[in-house]
Amino acid sequence: MIEFIIANKTIEFDDSKTYFDFFLESGKQKLVKIDFAALLRELAQERMTVDEQLTNYLRYLERWVIDAPRKLGYRKMRKDGFHVLTEEQFFDGDGGEEIIYNLENTGKLAEEIICRLGLSGKKWYSEK
């Protein structure tokens, strides 16, 4: 664990976890690793400010708190022989569950940053 002090608030960062985002860009699926350590370091050293753009980005990433468990559920249903009526990516194959857990890590950390920095009056999706 690494602690960062940002705006007089302590944010604990688990550097043993992996943080991903998944999105479409020009119609192509992209799975990218997010370097939260660098982001938090820049904020702690005041080389970057907590502005509306960062807040919106964190809220965008926070969606994984809901979407990742949903993907896991649908993925399991598909494995169990159910027909899932969506063309959504469930990362079928080896390592797929790990990818989804890493997406969920991203959502939880984004949510924690939002709450610790007071960017939202409450936690949106989960409790800690």
> Which amino acid, residue 26?
S
Task: Find tokens 């896991």 and name the residue.
Answer: 72
Residue 32: its pLDDT value, please?
95
Domain boundaries, the chain: 2-116
Predicted TM-score (pTM) of the model is 0.84
Q: What are phi and psi of 79, to 5 degrees?
A: -60, -35
Question: How long, in residues, is the chain?
Answer: 128
Residue 96: its pLDDT value, please?
85
Please write the tens of the pLDDT for every residue from 2-59.
Answer: 999 998 999 999 999 999 999 989 988 899 999 999 999 999 999 988 888 899 999 9
Give strand ranges (E) for the chain: 2-6, 9-13, 20-25, 28-33
Contact partners, residue 13, CB within 8 Å, separation at least 6: 1, 2, 3, 4, 36, 37, 40, 109
What whole-number distance in Å separates Cα of residue 116 and Cα of residue 118?
5
- Helix, strand, coil percentages in the chain from 3-state DSSP, rounded to 5: 45, 15, 40
